[in-house]
Structures are given as structure tokens and as C-alpha cells.
């Protein structure tokens, strides 16, 4: 644990976002995770993403369960709401919170243990319900908090710190999501913020359940030779299926993107974004093609990253259930609970 | 483009980088090929690299080890702090009151919260609270080495020569035209800024080492002095001639004074009064001393007349503040036109009031203004004067009739004659005179031992880890947001009671305790070992001032544009590591505003970062560089 809190001193060129806030305003308490933990980099990416989109801290809800990963909500946006649930129970709690107040931005942080072992069932149903939230799995393949046993995401053949190899098949959250109707699936690496930050911004903007699987090496128990979730292994085997960037919704700009080469598009604020067509043979909206592609690449031992699958045709949990536009939390109590007399009247209808 | 979703999975080439400028999304394509002249790894073994990071030490002409002595003060080790100061600047108590403080504008803290650490005031704290030092001064050998050195003038440069050479067995004969030692430190710095006791004490320390000082002995002829067969002669006569203002009326009255002569007369008690209305011409530090002294000798309506606007003044900002606090008026854009003297009585002066263009390069006269005055003091600069050096001795004189002196060795064209202090290159300040003295002493020692004067030991350095355990350092690494402490002054009634009432009261214990914590310990360096780095980004994420970046290498301008925070201060170095093992990128550090908090090292899982104390070893006459700091260890 660091000896001091992060000094209040800042760089003289520190910039402010649309809310007049600096990136430092989106920070939280000092991390007590191991030095070099990938999770701290994910935290830094979240801080940057939230600052860049000028998120209002009081409109953010940080949700988590149990584990190293689940400690991290304490390390960003001190001014946000938060709920630290029982192990694996963050998805239903987040679902409930979202049902009650659809106006907040939900950021769930979980790990491979919390999401793929004890909480797997809950995760599946949150995906199916398309609860609007960003769900980050800080995936390191081990139970770091209990000294590095293999988790449910450890690859077959990956070696533990003591040398024995894992034999059980891993659960891949992206493939799982594809099979149960997920609408936003991405994978990234804690050591690659240039990719992770835009993915997080897109996930926050997504109108549904956005699952971001982040390879986040456990520097203490799973960063050795033979591990398939180490910094070095991930760097050597990462391939980017898509180059991802996020442009916030604004007035429509129409452009024709050439199939070959780079197309420069001038945005409404004068900046220029350069587009290339997605790689041939990869269409992130074609579920069957994505499944095939992932299987192919993963059989080669490659780690496919980027925004991998997107479906914007499915409504979120509120649309499916036809809830009112107004957040239930803001509906007057008398309206939410019409009283015993009204209940009696309703029940009488069924007699 | 129609749906945001289509945009999100459109791909871009790798070379452009997206940065956010407030709410604007800007894509920058550097246009520089990836392999363009990559920077070589920084050589931190070069003593100059980390020395530059210690801005105060680098900025000090004598390279005083400021962070180290501030830590000593923080620990209450005032005598140690004093002795560390004394090693490089010789006069800590005097300089703690009067130094021109080149260290403070250089101080990194000033770039973070606008106010540098009050280094000069802390120096005075060490001097005010120190204990006995007699047992820590170098021993003076009883058996001399047979070499005799003459010093002309008993100012800071000559005294430094004596300080450095007496412990080596030299005999030093010092010629002083006045009856007391100290040079301009005594004659020109008023006693309300520098108490006589403080001056006597530090000058006395050196004289007591065994200087053969001869008061009331102006040297009238270099030829005669050379005939005395000294092994070396050091000229430290200062810049003793105040500039004159030869305009109408100048010689019709005796109420027009040359600033430095007038201050000297005050210092020695020859002048005790001045008229009520005083005009000071010029706005340098001498002018500030003149106006504040006038205020104490009867002046009530004192105006400092500046030719150019504020911002072009030569006086230090704090000296201007102190003068204005005492009710001195500073009038800008007035050019002297003539003295108005009627019947031998000074009535005042006429000035042209000027209007300057932007940048104050060209002016035009708006009107002529008369200002009444009883006395006028001219403080418009000083000049060197060497009427006593015959021009056929082999001592060559060049531009401005100044002696030709080597800037490195301080040797003149006559090999055993050396110059230093203001006498060498014109008026500077005390700390420069001290540094000249140190360098000239090395040359004299070389000259007397038959070594070429150009053969000088380079600076050397050492790096020592400050790690004591996990997240534990042997220095106080926390950043203290305290504001710069304000010097307390004697109240405005009391200070005018007598000429020698010291105005600055020094820092209280509480002020000292707060001010020492403002120091960023810039000598505790972030030392990086590229081979250990696993590129986990922990250091980059934790750095409060965004000074770290892992990026592909490039040329300096390119790399400076791709840092976590733009490198806006181009005077500060950019550290570049060797290639990192995993991705072959490099670690870059912009030294500009690093607060030396050590969090990069605390969050590093592989100890690729360490906090190591940089020590600079400076050589003095007769001492190899590495011995110098052992005296205070």
C-alpha cells in the first residue's frame, strides 16, 4: 500500500472537460492492490473514459461483488454512488438498481471468479435482460485474493506459479455472451489503454448490457512464464479484430467510407477522424461469423481484442418491460403504491 | 456515417493519436516516420543530467546542495546545514539575508504552485540557529607551504580565496583600502539588511584562519605589488566606481551624491542626515538600498525615478516590495533632463516624461516635469576602474578597458595574476564573487604546484537508494500543499528608530517547519532500469503530474508531442530509457514538474523504478571531488 496519498500537485497544462472538471476529479482513494496489478490500469482507463465523456459523478453508480476486482470501485470517482454486494450477486443488485433508477450510469466491476464461478448464473440473466450497464470483467485467470488458484477462465495448459497446468476447460465470457443474446461484447487488455478507453466510452454509451472482458494480469500470482494471462503472453498473442474509437452522438455527418484505404471525415467540431473499413471477413454485427472467427483465432492461441460484437436492435430491460420513461425512483410513492383499497379492487377483478 | 454504432467499429490507421482538448476531439497525425532519429537512452551517469534536475543547485553559481541542507534544517540539524552551505557559498548568514537568490526563480516548486521554496530565508534559519563551528573548520597547518598569495581588496572573492588556500598552507596577504574588511558587503549593504555582527562573524571566521590583513592599504601600483614577488596575485577590488550623470547643474551643488559612495559614507558614519525630499535616479538594487537608507536618515518624501516601465527594473522584486512597504514612491517613465540649482542651492530636477512603445524599446517625450528635491542620489550602475594597474606589465586590457580574464580559470594574461568577483567581469553579486573565488583558488593552487590552470577536476556524482522497505523511504516523500511562508518584518515605527534595526525578523519555528516541507527533494531521483520493466503502466497511472509515458521512440520534438502531458517547458530535460523488453518501446519522463513523491517506485512491481539520492561532488582547491562531502557526512 502506498506510503502517501497521491499528491494534490498537478501538471500546469491539466485540461478540463465540458463540466469544467480535471481528470484528477474522477479519481478515487489510493489503491491497496498489489503494485503492478492490471486492475489499477483498468481503473485508470475508467477514470479517463469518464472524464473524456464528461460524466457527472453524482449520476454514476459503481457496482461490484467480491474479489480484488471488486475493490476497485473505491479507486475511482469518489463522488459517485456505489454498492458492494455479496460474492457474485452484483448483476441482480445492478438489475434492481437499474429497474428503480434508469437515469444513472451503471458501471459494474467484477472478476473472473465473481462473474464466471459463483456469479455465473446471475451474469447470464443480466445479459439476457439486457440491463443497461457497463459490465467489466477484470480477467486474470486466477483467484488472486486466495493465493492464486486457477479460476474458471484459466486456459487449458496454462501453468500456475507452482508449475502445474490447468486441465479444466475455460469459460469465455465473450463466447458465453454470444450464445445467450448479448448485445455488446468487447475484449481488451489492461496494458493497452489506447484500445480500452474508447471501448469503455462506447460501452457506457450502449443502450443495453455492455460486457467488456479485460485481460488484467495478476502480477503476483499469474505473471510468470507458462501463464496465458501474463503481460508478456497477452502482448505476444493479442490480435485486434477491430480498431475501435468512439465518437459521441451529435448532429449527423454523412460520409462514404471507401472499402480500401483511409477516409478522413471532418467532424462538426472541426476535428478529423480517419476511417478504414472493418477487416474483410469480420463483421461485428454478424453473430455466426463472429463465433466462427473467435473459434478460429483462439484455436491458434491468439487473444482476439476490440469491440467484437454489437447488436443495437434489441431494447434494454426497460423497453422489454415497458416501464415508464420516468425513473421509478422519481415516481411519487402514492403512484408507485396505490394502497390496500386499490389492491382489493384489482384482486376483485380476478375473482 | 449514420449510427454511432457504425462509427465505433470503423477502424483507423495506427499512427494518428487521439487526444482530448477540453471537449474537442483532435486527431493528430505526427507525420513523422516511426523510425525517425530515435533518441539515445539518457546517460544518467553524466553528473550534469541529475544536477540539472536539482534546479536550485544548478541555478546557484556556487552549486549549493539546497535540498540536502533543507532536510537538515527539517531535522533541526542547523549546524550541519550551516556547514554544508559554507562549503560551497562560504557566507551562509550573509547570503541568507542578501543573496540575489538565482536558486529561487529556478525552483521547481515555483512551476507547480507559483511560489518557489523560500530557500534564502531557510539558509538564514540555519545560520541564525547554528551552534559552535570552530571544531568543524579545516585545520590550518602550522608549517606553511612556502607560497605567498596577495589579495587586493577584502571582499567576498578575496575572502573565499583565503578560505580555500589557507588550509593548504598558503600565506595570504590581503590589502584593503578601508579600515574594515568585507568590501561592498560592508560599505554598500545597509545594516538594516545585514547587521554588522553577522558580517563581522563570518568575515572574522576567515580572517582568523590567519589572513595577514593590511587595512588602510590601498594598492596604488600593481608594478610595486608585483615587485614583492608574491607567487600569485588575486585582484578582488570589485566595481568601485558609481556611474555619474553629467547633465546641466551636476557640479553646482554638493547635494548630488553617487549612490555607492554615499552608502559607504553612511556605513562608516560620515553621513548621518539627508534632506526631506530625496530623488533616487535608477531602479536597481543599489537604488533600493539608497532610498531605504534615506528613509532612515531624515528623508520623508522619497521618490525613485525609473526611466522605463515596471518589468524592466533591475531591482529584485522583493527589494522593490520592501522599499514600497516603507512608503517609497517609484515613478516610472521619467528621464533626467537637468538639475535645477539656484544660487548654489539644489531646488530639484527636471525630467522628460516618456511614453514607451510595447516592449519599451522606443520612447517619445510627452512633457517636461519639475520635481523638487533637497538631495539627489545617483544609482544608475557601477563600473570597474583599474587606474592602479600599469598597462605595460603584461596584463592585457580589452573591451570597456576591462582586463582580459579567462572565464574558466580567472587567469589574466600575466600568468600569476588572477581576477575575480566584480573586478573580473563587472557587477554581479556576492554569490558569483564566491564562486569566482573558488575557481580562482583552484587556478592559483594549480599555478603554484606546477599544474596547468586548465587542468580542473570535473564534477562527480553518486546515487544512493533511499529505499528502506516496502513503501518506505529515507526521505519525507509526501507533497505538502502549504503556501510559501511570508517573512515577518519589524514594524514601521520601530525599524526607523535607528539605522541598524534589522527589518527582516527571520522565520519562526512554525514557519520554518512549514517551509521546509515545501521542498520537493529534487535531488532524490527517479532512477529507472529498463530491463526490469514489464510495462504494466502502474507508474504512469499513479503519477500525479503525468510526467511518465511509455511510447515508441522518436526524435525529441516528436516525442515531446506524444507525452502523457504536453512538455511545455523545453528548458527541462526529457529522460529516455533504453528499449523496454516486451514491446521495444521506451519509457520517457518529462522532468519539468516531477514532485519526487516516489509513487512510481512504490507502485512498480519489479523495482524498475527506485528513488535514489543524487549527490554532486564539486572539487575545490586541493580537494579531489569525492572528498568534499565527507566533511558533513
B133: CB partners within 8 A, 6+ apart: B79, B82, B83, B86, B205
Chain A (65-104) residues lying within 8 Å, Cβ to Cβ, of chain B: none
The answer to whether A20 faces chain B, any CB pair under 8 Å, is no
B543 is a domain residue = no
pLDDT above 80: residue B593: yes
Indicate whether A161 and A233 sit together in one domain.
Answer: yes
B535 domain-assigned: no
Say if A5 falls within a structural domain.
no
Answer yes or no: is pLDDT of B626 > 80: no
- Please indicate whether residue B17 or residue A158 has the higher confidence score (pLDDT): A158
* A286 in the same domain as A268: no
pTM of the entire predicted model? 0.88
Q: What are phi and psi of A333, to 5 degrees?
A: -60, -40
Task: Give the bridge partners for B616, in sequence order.
Answer: B461
* Chain A residues in contact with B603 (beta carbon < 8 A): 2, 35-36, 40
Domain that holds residue B108: 62-135+483-516
A151 and A263 in a common domain: no
Which residues from chain B sit within 8 angstroms of residue A245, using beta carbons? 7-8, 10, 12, 18
Q: Which of B261, B157, B220 is nearest to B386 (CA)?
A: B220
Cell numbers 415508464 correspond to what residue? A324
Structural domain boundaries enclosing A266: 252-277
Nearest residue in chain B measured CA to CA from A218 = B536
| Strands across the sheet containing B334-342 | B334-342, B345-356, B363-372
Name chain B contacts of A255, Cβ cutoff 8 Å.
1
DSSP string, B472-505: EESS--PPP-PPPPPPPB--TTGGGTSTT--SB-
Do the Cβ atoms of A274 and B27 come within 8 Å? Answer: yes
Cα–Cα distance for residue pair B467/B613, rounded to 1 Å: 10
Contact residues on chain B for A12, CB-CB shorter than 8 A: 111-112, 568, 593
Is residue A348 domain-resident? no
Nearest-Cα residue of chain A relative to residue B14:
A243
Non-local CB neighbours of B27 within 8 Å, separated by 6+ positions: A271, A272, A273, A274, B16, B17, B18
- Using a CB–CB cutoff of 8 Å, tell me whether A37 touches chain B: yes
Q: Which of B16-25, B176-185, B281-290 has the lowest mean pLDDT?
A: B16-25
Summarised one tens digit per residue, pLDDT across range B439-479 is 999 999 999 999 999 999 889 999 999 999 999 999 999 99
Same domain? For A220 and A264 the reply is no
Q: Do the beta carbons of residue B84 and residue B527 sit within 8 Å?
A: no
Q: B264 and B197 in one domain? A: no
Query: Could you tell me the three cell numbers for B545?
Result: 503530474
Q: How far apart are CA B141 and CA B144, in angstroms?
A: 6
Residue B37: the pLDDT is 77
The reported pLDDT for the residue numbered A275 is 63
**Structure confidence by residue, pLDDT tens digits, B54-102:** 999 999 999 999 999 999 999 999 999 999 999 999 999 999 999 999 9
A281 touches chain B (CB under 8 A): no
Give residue A228's pLDDT.
94
Tell me what pLDDT residue B624 has: 64
Domains contained in chain B, number: 3
Q: What is the DSSP string of A30-58?
A: PP-SPTT-HHHHHHHHHHHHHHHTT--GG
Residues B251 and B334 in one domain: yes
Instruction: With beta carbons under 8 A apart, name residues in chain A contacting B107.
Output: none
Q: What is the ipTM of this complex?
A: 0.89
CATH number where A73 lies: 3.40.50.970
- Do A145 and A267 share a domain, yes or no? no
Residues A167 and A262 reside in one and the same domain:
no
With respect to residue A308, please indicate whether it lies within any of the assigned structural domains: yes
Only one residue has cell 460474492, namely A87
For residue A103, tell me if it sits in a domain: yes
Question: Domain check: are B166 and B118 in the same one?
Answer: no
* C-alpha B552, offset from chain centre: 39
CB atoms A38 and B536 under 8 Å? yes
| Per-residue DSSP letter, B138 | P
Summarize the confidence of residues B194-205 as an average pLDDT.
Answer: 96
A150 and A34 within one domain? yes
Question: Does residue B471 lie in a domain region?
Answer: no
Identity of the residue in B12, B21, B113 whose CB atom sits nearest the CB atom of A243: B12
One domain, residues B365 and B401: no
**pLDDT-based confidence at residue A261 (cuts at 50, 70, 90):** low
CATH number of the structural domain spanning residue B404: 3.50.50.60
Contact A11 B25 (CB under 8 A): no
Helices (H), chain A: 38-52, 68-71, 90-100, 112-113, 120-129, 173-179, 193-205, 231-237, 287-299, 317-321, 333-336, 340-350
Query: 3-class secondary structure for A126-189?
Result: HHHHCCCEEEEEEECCEEHHHCCEECCCCCCCCECCCCCECCCCCCCHHHHHHHCCCCEEEEEE
CA distance B73 to B511: 12
Q: Looking at chain A, how many residues does it have? A: 351
The pLDDT of residue A11 is above 70? yes
Number of domains chain A is built from: 2
Residues A123 and A261 in one domain: no
Residues of A with Cβ-Cβ distance to B536 under 8 angstroms: 36-38, 41, 190-191, 217, 219, 231
Q: Is the pLDDT of residue B212 over 70?
A: yes
Amino acid at each position: 500500500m502506498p506510503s502517501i496519498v497521491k499528491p494534490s500537485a498537478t501538471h500546469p497544462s491539466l485540461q478540463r472537460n465540458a463540466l469544467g472538471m480535471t481528470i484528477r476529479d474522477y479519481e478515487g482513494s489510493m489503491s491497496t492492490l498489489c503494485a503492478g496489478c492490471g486492475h489499477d490500469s483498468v481503473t485508470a482507463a475508467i477514470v479517463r473514459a469518464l472524464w473524456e465523456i464528461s460524466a457527472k459523478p453524482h449520476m454514476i453508480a459503481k457496482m461490484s461483488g467480491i474479489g480484488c476486482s471488486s475493490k476497485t470501485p473505491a479507486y475511482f470517482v469518489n463522488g459517485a454512488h456505489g454498492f458492494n454486494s455479496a460474492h457474485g450477486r452484483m448483476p441482480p443488485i445492478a438489475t434492481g438498481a437499474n429497474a428503480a433508477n434508469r437515469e444513472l450510469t451503471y458501471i459494474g466491476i467484477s472478476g473472473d471468479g465473481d462473474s464466471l464461478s459463483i456469479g455465473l448464473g446471475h451474469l447470464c440473466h443480466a445479459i439476457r435482460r439486457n440491463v443497461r450497464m457497463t459490465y467489466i470483467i477484470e480477467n486474470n485467470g486466477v483467484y488472486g485474493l486466495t493465493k492464486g488458484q486457477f479460476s474458471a477462465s484459466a486456459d487449458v495448459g496454462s501453468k500456475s506459479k507452482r508449475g502445474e497446468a490447468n486441465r479444466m476447460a475455460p469459460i469465455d465470457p465473450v463466447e458465453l455472451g454470444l450464445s445467450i443474446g448479448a448485445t455488446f461484447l468487447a475484449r481488451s487488455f489492461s496494458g493497452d489503454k489506447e484500445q480500452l478507453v474508447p471501448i469503455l466510452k462506447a460501452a457506457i454509451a450502449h443502450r443495453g448490457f455492455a460486457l467488456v472482458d479485460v485481460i488484467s494480469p495478476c502480477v503476483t500470482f499469474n505473471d510468470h512464464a507458462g501463464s496465458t494471462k501474463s503481460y508478456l503472453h497477452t502482448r505476444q498473442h493479442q490480435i485486434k479484430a477491430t480498431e475501435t474509437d468512439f465518437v459521441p452522438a451529435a448532429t449527423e455527418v454523412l460520409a462514404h467510407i471507401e472499402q480500401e484505404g483511409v477516409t478522413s471525415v471532418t467532424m462538426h467540431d472541426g476535428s478529423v477522424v480517419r476511417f478504414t473499413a472493418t477487416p474483410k471477413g469480420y463483421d461485428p454485427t454478424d453473430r455466426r461469423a463472429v463465433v466462427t472467427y473467435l473459434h478460429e483465432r483462439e484455436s491458434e492461441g491468439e487473444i482476439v481484442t476490440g469491440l467484437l460484437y454489437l447488436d443495437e436492435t434489441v431494447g434494454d430491460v426497460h423497453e422489454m418491460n415497458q416501464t415508464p420513461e420516468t425513473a421509478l425512483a422519481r415516481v411519487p410513492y402514492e403512484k408507485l403504491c396505490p394502497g390496500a383499497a386499490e389492491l382489493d379492487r384489482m384482486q376483485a377483478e380476478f375473482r | 456515417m449514420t449510427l454511432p454504432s457504425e462509427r465505433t467499429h470503423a477502424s483507423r490507421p495506427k499512427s494518428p493519436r487521439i487526444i482530448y482538448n477540453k471537449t474537442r476531439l483532435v486527431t493528430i497525425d505526427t507525420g513523422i516516420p516511426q523510425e525517425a532519429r530515435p533518441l539515445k537512452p539518457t546517460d544518467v551517469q553524466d553528473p550534469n543530467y541529475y544536477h540539472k534536475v536539482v534546479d536550485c543547485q544548478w541555478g546557484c553559481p556556487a552549486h549549493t546542495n539546497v535540498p540536502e541542507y533543507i532536510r537538515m534544517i527539517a531535522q533541526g540539524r542547523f549546524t550541519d546545514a550551516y556547514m554544508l552551505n559554507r562549503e560551497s557559498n562560504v557566507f551562509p548568514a550573509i547570503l541568507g539575508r542578501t543573496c540575489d537568490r538565482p536558486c529561487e526563480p529556478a525552483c521547481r516548486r515555483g512551476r507547480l504552485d507559483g511560489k518557489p521554496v523560500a530557500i534564502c530565508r531557510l539558509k538564514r534559519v540555519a545560520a541564525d540557529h547554528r551552534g559552535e563551528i570552530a571544531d568543524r573548520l579545516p585545520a590550518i597547518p602550522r608549517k606553511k607551504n612556502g607560497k605567498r598569495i596577495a589579495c587586493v581588496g577584502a571582499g567576498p572573492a578575496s575572502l573565499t580565496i583565503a578560505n580555500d588556500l589557507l588550509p593548504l598552507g598558503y600565506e595570504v596577504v590581503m590589502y584593503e583600502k578601508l579600515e574594515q574588511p568585507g568590501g561592498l558587503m560592508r560599505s554598500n549593504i545597509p545594516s538594516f539588511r545585514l547587521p554588522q555582527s553577522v558580517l563581522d562573524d563570518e568575515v572574522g571566521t576567515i580572517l582568523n584562519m590567519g589572513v595577514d590583513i593590511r587595512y588602510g592599504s590601498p594598492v596604488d601600483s600593481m608594478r610595486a605589488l608585483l615587485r614583492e614577488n608574491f607567487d600569485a596575485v588575486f585582484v578582488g577590488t570589485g566595481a568601485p566606481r558609481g556611474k555619474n550623470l553629467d547633465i546641466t547643474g551636476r557640479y553646482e551643488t554638493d547635494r548630488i551624491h553617487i549612490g555607492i559612495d554615499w552608502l559607504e559614507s553612511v556605513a562608516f558614519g560620515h553621513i548621518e542626515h539627508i534632506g526631506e525630499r530625496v530623488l533616487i535616479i535608477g531602479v536597481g538594487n543599489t537604488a533600493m538600498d539608497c532610498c531605504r537608507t534615506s528613509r532612515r536618515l531624515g528623508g520623508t518624501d522619497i521618490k525613485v525615478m525609473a526611466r522605463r516601465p515596471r518589468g524592466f527594473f533591475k531591482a529584485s522584486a522583493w527589494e522593490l516590495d520592501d522599499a514600497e512597504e516603507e512608503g517609497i514612491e517609484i515613478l516610472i517613465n521619467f528621464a533626467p533632463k537637468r538639475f535645477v540649482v539656484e544660487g548654489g542651492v539644489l531646488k530639484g530636477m527636471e525630467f522628460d516624461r516618456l511614453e514607451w512603445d510595447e516592449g519599451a524599446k522606443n520612447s517619445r517625450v510627452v512633457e517636461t516635469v519639475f520635481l523638487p528635491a533637497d538631495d539627489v542620489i545617483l544609482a544608475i550602475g557601477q563600473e570597474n576602474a583599474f587606474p592602479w594597474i600599469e598597462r605595460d606589465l603584461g596584463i592585457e586590457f580589452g573591451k570597456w578597458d576591462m582586463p582580459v580574464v579567462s572565464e574558466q580559470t580567472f587567469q589574466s594574461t600575466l600568468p600569476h595574476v588572477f581576477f575575480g568577483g566584480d573586478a573580473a567581469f563587472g557587477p554581479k553579486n556576492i554569490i558569483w564573487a564566491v564562486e569566482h573565488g573558488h575557481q580562482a583558488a583552484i587556478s592559483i593552487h594549480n599555478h603554484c604546484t606546477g599544474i596547468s590552470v586548465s587542468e580542473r577536476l570535473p564534477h562527480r556524482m553518486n546515487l544512493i537508494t533511499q529505499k528502506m522497505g516496502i513503501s518506505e523511504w529515507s526521505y519525507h516523500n509526501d507533497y505538502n500543499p502549504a503556501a510559501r511562508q511570508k517573512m515577518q518584518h519589524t514594524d514601521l515605527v520601530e525599524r526607523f528608530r535607528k539605522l541598524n534595526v534589522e527589518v527582516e525578523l527571520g522565520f519562526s519555528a512554525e514557519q520554518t517547519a512549514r517551509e521546509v516541507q515545501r521542498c520537493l527533494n529534487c535531488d532524490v531521483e527517479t532512477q529507472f532500469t529498463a530491463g526490469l520493466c514489464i510495462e504494466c503502466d502502474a507508474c504512469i497511472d499513479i503519477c500525479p503530474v503525468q510526467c511518465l509515458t511509455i511510447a515508441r521512440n522518436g526524435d525529441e520534438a516528436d516525442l515531446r508531442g506524444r507525452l502523457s502531458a504536453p512538455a511545455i517547458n523545453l528548458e527541462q530535460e526529457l529522460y529516455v530509457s533504453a528499449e523496454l523488453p516486451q514491446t521495444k518501446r521506451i519509457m520517457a519522463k518529462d522532468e519539468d514538474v516531477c514532485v519526487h513523491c516516489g509513487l512510481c517506485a512504490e507502485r512498480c512491481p519489479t523495482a524498475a523504478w527506485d528513488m535514489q539520492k543524487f549527490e554532486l561532488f564539486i572539487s575545490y582547491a586541493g580537494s579531489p571531488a569525492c572528498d568534499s562531502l565527507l566533511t558533513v557526512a
